[in-house]
């Protein structure tokens, strides 16, 4: 006799998965392939997801880390995370055809930083050292114009040229709660500091974290589908752990699932980072269904209708 499957309840966080900036970046590569044929080069992973990158590779995209790997006669796309100004400058000097897939919400932070710099302010960027978005934002301005802080502890160590002439900006994919604490520490130390009305954390990051916060206290375990180098996905794991679900982890896809880890859980939360396609969530649910009797409840915390336009060069 076949043993009956154990029941498990799945709480599906919503919104989850692809944001408007990721959708646009993928469409830019696909449209460029249609218009210019194979291959189209892409500088850096277009979005931080292996599945997305491999799918685009099968369609004719070639991913490289630097422009010197791109031949003169082929188009190149810059990733959604944004690039330092030196990158389009180099592409211009080589007369490369390039398409910029920088998310418009990242470009907005670039423009904000430039405005503050033009007003004579030093910019303090809250973000993670080495992340491509941080490299891109710092690279909008001359070296030394932007100082990076990663946590509250670093605020006390900041050496600024003029405490009365400061502004802050943030990476778009940070933890909302951690950022509030860092901004508060900056304001305590530098009361004259200027900043955006809201942090620069984007709507997609905010909504995905709010949905995880809503389900975490009800979950025995929570899985975030996303890549280990995806900042917003990693933040979702932390948000779950900080809000009542210590048993939370990141997986790239269902085949990474350690089923023993789930032993004893009666309620499993599932979400996906902004660069993870829904098909990977479906795949995980199907793998759960093979092992458990499922009851699925979707917990929706926001409706999203944001759509970003494609660059003019790609619109027929
Ligand atoms: Fe843009 Fe936010 Fe998506 Fe990043 S996570 S691509 S900033 S919408």
DSSP assignment of 51-117: HHHHHHHHHTEEEESSGGGS-TTS-EEE-TT---THHHHHHHHTT--EEE---HHHHHHHHHHHHHH
Which of the four CATH numbers 3.40.1010.20, 2.60.40.10, 3.40.50.2000, 3.30.390.50 does domain 104-189 have? Answer: 3.40.1010.20
Which residue minimizes the CA distance to atom 1 of ligand 1? 21
> Ligand 1: which atom is nearest the Cα of residue 24?
6
Catalytic residues: 133
pLDDT of residue 198: 78
Domain ranges for the chain: 7-18+206-300, 20-103, 104-189
User: Cα angle vertex 197, ends 194, 199, to 5°?
Assistant: 90
Q: What pLDDT was estimated at residue 256?
A: 97
Check if 80 has its Cβ closer than 6 Å to any atom of ligand 1.
yes
Distance 226 CA to ligand 1 centre (A): 14
CA of residue 20 to ligand 1 center, whole Å: 7
Q: Tens of pLDDT along the chain (316 residues)?
A: 677 999 999 999 999 999 999 999 999 999 999 999 999 999 999 999 999 999 999 999 999 999 999 999 999 999 999 999 999 999 999 999 999 999 999 999 999 999 999 999 999 999 999 999 999 999 999 999 999 999 999 999 999 999 999 999 999 999 999 999 999 999 999 999 999 987 799 999 999 999 999 999 999 999 999 999 999 999 999 999 999 999 999 999 999 999 999 999 999 999 999 999 999 999 999 999 999 999 999 999 999 999 999 999 998 7
Ligand 1 in reach of 79 Cβ (< 6 A): no
- Please tell me the residue having the least CA distance from ligand 1 atom 6: 21
The reply to whether 104-189 shares the fold of 7-18+206-300 is: yes
| 11 pocket-lining for ligand 1 (C-beta < 6 Å) | no
d(CA 189, CA 191): 6
Please give the distance, rounded to the nearest whole angstrom, from the Cα atom of residue 16 to the centre of ligand 1.
Answer: 12
Please tell me if the CB atom of residue 109 comes closer than 6 angstroms to any atom of ligand 1.
Answer: no
Q: Is 232 in the pocket of ligand 1 (CB under 6 A)?
A: yes
Determine the pLDDT at residue 1. 67
Q: Quick check: CB of 103 below 6 Å from ligand 1?
A: yes
Please give the model's pTM, rounded to 2 decimal places: 0.96
Question: How far is the centre of ligand 1, averaged over its atoms, from the C-alpha of 103 (Å)?
Answer: 6
Which CATH class, in words, describes the domain spanning 7-18+206-300?
A: alpha beta
Q: Is 3.40.50.300 the CATH classification of the domain at 20-103?
A: no
């Amino acid at each position: 006799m076949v043993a009956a499957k154990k029941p498990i309840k799945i709480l599906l966080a919503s919104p989850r998965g692809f944001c408007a900036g990721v959708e646009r970046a993928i469409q830019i590569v696909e449209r460029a392939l249609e218009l210019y044929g194979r291959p189209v080069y892409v500088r850096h992973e277009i979005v931080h997801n292996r599945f997305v990158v491999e799918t685009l590779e099968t369609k004719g995209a070639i991913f490289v880390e630097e422009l010197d790997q791109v031949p003169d006669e082929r188009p190149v796309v810059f990733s959604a995370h944004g690039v330092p100004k030196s990158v389009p400058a180099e592409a211009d000097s080589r007369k490369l055809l390039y398409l910029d897939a920088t998310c418009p919400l990242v470009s907005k932070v670039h423009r904000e930083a430039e405005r503050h710099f033009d007003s004579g302010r030093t910019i303090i960027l809250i973000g993670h050292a080495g992340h491509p978005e941080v490299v891109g934002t710092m690279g909008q301005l001359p070296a030394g114009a932007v100082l990076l802080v990663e946590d509250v502890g670093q605020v006390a160590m900041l050496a600024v040229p003029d405490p009365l002439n400061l502004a802050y900006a943030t990476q778009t994919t940070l933890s909302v709660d951690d950022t509030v604490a860092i901004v508060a520490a900056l304001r305590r130390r530098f009361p004259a500091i200027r900043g955006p009305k809201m942090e620069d954390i984007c709507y997609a990051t905010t909504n995905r974290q709010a949905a995880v916060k809503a389900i975490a206290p009800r979950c025995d375990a929570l899985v975030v589908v996303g890549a280990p180098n995806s900042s917003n996905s990693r933040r979702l794991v932390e948000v779950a752990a900080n809000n009542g679900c210590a048993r939370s982890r990141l997986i790239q896809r269902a085949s990474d699932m350690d089923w023993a880890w789930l032993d004893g859980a009666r309620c499993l939360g599932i979400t996906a980072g902004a660069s993870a396609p829904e098909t990977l969530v479906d795949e995980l649910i199907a793998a759960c269904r093979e092992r458990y009797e499922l009851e699925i409840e979707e917990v929706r915390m926001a409706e999203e209708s944001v759509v970003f336009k494609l660059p003019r060069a790609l619109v027929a």
